[in-house]
Amino acid sequence: MEGWQRGLTEFQSISKLNGWRSPRLGISVHLEDERLQIRYPDGRPFMEAWESIQRADKEAECAERLAAKLRALGVDPDKP
């Protein structure tokens, strides 16, 4: 795996990507179990794409359940 960092006039190769930290953003790159892991400056991992899709699906299901309960109570959840 290769990484590149923007220099003043051109991109520069990052010689050791595992453990590299962005000087500007503070995020870090780690290779864990042959998977790329990007972490916030405080060490929390970025959410992977499939995780965010899964979370959005769960939140949509929850919102629909709550809307159905409101409708059962005679409240239109779509009215402001």
Encode 15-50 in three state secondary structure. CCCCCCECCCCCCEEEEECCEEEEECCCCCECCCHH
Nearest to 42 by CA among 20, 27, 25: 27
Q: What is the pLDDT of residues 21-72, one digit of tens each?
A: 999 899 999 988 888 888 999 999 887 767 888 889 999 999 999 999 999 9
pLDDT at 76: 94
Q: Where are the domains of the chain?
A: 4-39, 47-75
pLDDT at 79: 86
pLDDT at 59: 93
Beta bridge partners of 4: 13
pLDDT at 55: 87
